[in-house]
Amino acid sequence: MKNIVILGAGTAGTVMLNKLRYALEPDEWKLTIVDKDENHYYQPGFLFIPFGIYKPEEVVKLKRDYLPEDAEFIVSDIDQIDAKNKLVYLDNQDVLQYDYLIIATGTEICPEEIEGMKDVHWYSSIFDFYTLEGALALAEFLKTWKGGKMVVNIAEMPIKCPVAPLEFVFLADDYFRKRGMREQVEIILVTPLDSAFTKPVAAAELGGFMSDKGIKIVTEFNIGWVDNERKKIVSWDEREVDFDLLVTIPTNMGNKAIERSGLGDELNFVPTDKHTLQSKEWENIFVIGDATDLPTSKAGSVAHFESEILFENLMNIIKGRPMTASFDGHANCFIESGDGKGLLIDFNYEVEPLPGKFPIPVVGPFSLLKETRMNHLGKMGFKWLYWNVLLKGMDMPLESKMSMSGKYYPNVKNGFS
């Protein structure tokens, strides 16, 4: 009996477990998945909770309900990975031996990395929305807030779901307008980037949206600390932005077990071959989802596309064949823009988000880098696909490799909306 151990039962780990269970004989392969939490969270839904669009029960399910019955599910934190001896030590004192290890431990916010962030105003006038606890606390705060300066600050890159801060300011604009208090709220996005997004075509379009909605942006701001007494965030070059309400996207880091195991970089992300998804150091370790150090988005779509590549490569290795599948960095993300509309971006390592139609050229039905009602419906409808198709490892009607069909390069100077 051979063993495959998967660390992390989030999106990436759950999808991989289900794909492998379909393909491998249970009397030949034991599959084990480990996670510290019994609950599975639909993390894109956290964004909607502060504005009363989603309720907690819509974004939280039991992990066990989405895992194969004949796979072993262990609820425990990870202590350490001993890659040399192919062992995983768990906090519950279990020791797991593996022939192949899949690291899918994700990423988590670390507000304690920013001086002063959690000292005084945490969950009273400083909130996150990247956790269920933070999103719920912010929802309660917004119900009675009378207005002022709302600052949404990205501490540093990379972060989970890079477009989520943009979606947040767009939804906040819509939320305050519908409550008749938009004029009482100044919305400011403070980012370490030099624009609203990392790529010029998308940055031009998204920056225009922010301007049209009266959302200000402060660029190249690298937060150093929070001045709690004066309610200001201060950059390392001593620029200051004051706030009445601070919505933070703190430093994102990988699992601390990666650090203890000596397998990660300075942010605890695992150095990973960007095409094969194999560990750069250990040939029997593979990495998927937010746990990698790959130069692409940390997003659910990436985990989905990576799962197709990793499954093919791992099956080839198991059968004694060379790895032939290659991940191209494919990512796509719906971007809620408020008022029942949204945008969509589709890109990879080499090609930035471009306008066009998706997934069928000319037809769509979704429009790339264009605000439409259909894109909003796609965003909202994906929740059903997530729970009922994607997590179960079933085929999705999207290719893992990005296609240029239906896309075009615009004249950014003259606009393209």
Confidence of residue 196 (pLDDT cuts 50, 70, 90): confident
* Residue 141: how many other CB atoms lie within 10 Å: 16
The residue with tokens 């150093």 is 224
Tell me what percent of the residues of the chain surpass a pLDDT of 70: 99
Are 283 and 247 found together in one domain?
Answer: no
Residue 202 has pLDDT above 50, yes or no: yes
Tokens of 264: 């990660």
End-to-end Cα separation, the chain, in angstroms: 58
Final residue before a domain boundary, out of 264, 290, 318: 318
Is residue 287 situated within a structural domain? yes
The reply to whether 239 and 279 lie within a common domain is: no
pLDDT at 56: 93
Residues 170 and 293 in one domain: no
Radius of gyration of the chain from Cα atoms? Answer: 22
Number of compact structural domains in the chain = 3
Give the mean pLDDT of 71-99: 97
**Which residue, 227, 251, 275, sits at the end of a domain?**
251
Residue 323 lies inside a defined structural domain of this protein = no
The span from the CA of 30 to the CA of 271, in Å, is 26
Position 178 in a domain:
yes
293, 318, 343 - which closes a domain: 318
Task: Please check whether residues 240 and 214 belong to one and the same domain.
Answer: yes
Please give the pLDDT value at position 417. 44
* 115 and 241 assigned to the same domain: yes
Tokens of 65: 């309900």
> Is 139 domain-assigned?
yes
Would residue 327 count as lying in a domain? no
363: tokens are 């037809």
244, 270: one domain: no
CA 16 to CA 308: how far, in whole Å? 9
Rounded CA separation 89/252 (Å): 24
Whether residue 46 contacts residue 130, with contact meaning beta carbons closer than 8 Å, is answered with yes
* The pLDDT of residue 67 is above 70: yes
Q: Is residue 324 part of a domain?
A: no
The tens digit of pLDDT for each residue in 1-55 reads: 999 999 999 999 999 999 999 999 999 999 999 999 999 999 999 999 999 999 9
Contacts of residue 349, Cβ cutoff 8 Å, sequence gap at least 6: 274, 295, 296, 328, 329
Question: What is the domain-level CATH number for residue 304?
Answer: 3.50.50.60
| Interior angle at CA 187, CA 182 and CA 190, nearest 5 | 175
Q: Does residue 268 belong to any structural domain of this protein? A: yes
User: Are 193 and 97 contained in the same domain?
Assistant: no
pLDDT at 398: 84
- In this prediction, residue 306 carries a pLDDT of 98
* Same domain? 117 vs 98: no
Q: How many whole angstroms separate alpha carbon 345 and alpha carbon 91? A: 40
- Co-location of 138 and 240 in the same domain: yes
Q: Which of 318, 279, 299, 319 is nearest to 390 (CA)?
A: 299
- Do residues 129 and 217 share a domain? yes
- Is the previous residue joined to 359 through a cis bond, with omega within 30 degrees of 0? yes
119 and 246 co-located in one domain: yes
Q: How far apart are CA 182 and CA 184, in angstroms?
A: 5
CA gap 154, 27 in Å, rounded: 48
pLDDT digits (tens, 9 = 90+) for 342-401: 999 999 999 999 999 999 998 999 999 999 999 999 999 999 999 999 999 998 878 899
Structural domain span for residue 26: 2-51+59-106+255-318
Same domain flag for 132 and 102: no
Measured in degrees and rounded to the nearest 5, phi and psi for residue 68 equal -60, 140
d(C-alpha 409, C-alpha 277), whole Å = 30
Q: What is the pLDDT of residue 198?
A: 73
The pLDDT confidence band at residue 412, using thresholds 50, 70 and 90, is low
Distances (CA, A) of 378 to 167, 336, 340, 359, 384: 15, 10, 11, 12, 10
Is 325 a member of any domain? no
Most confident of 22-26, 200-204, 277-281, 360-364: 277-281
Quote the crossing angle between the two packed helices 300-318 and 11-23, to the nearest 10°: 30
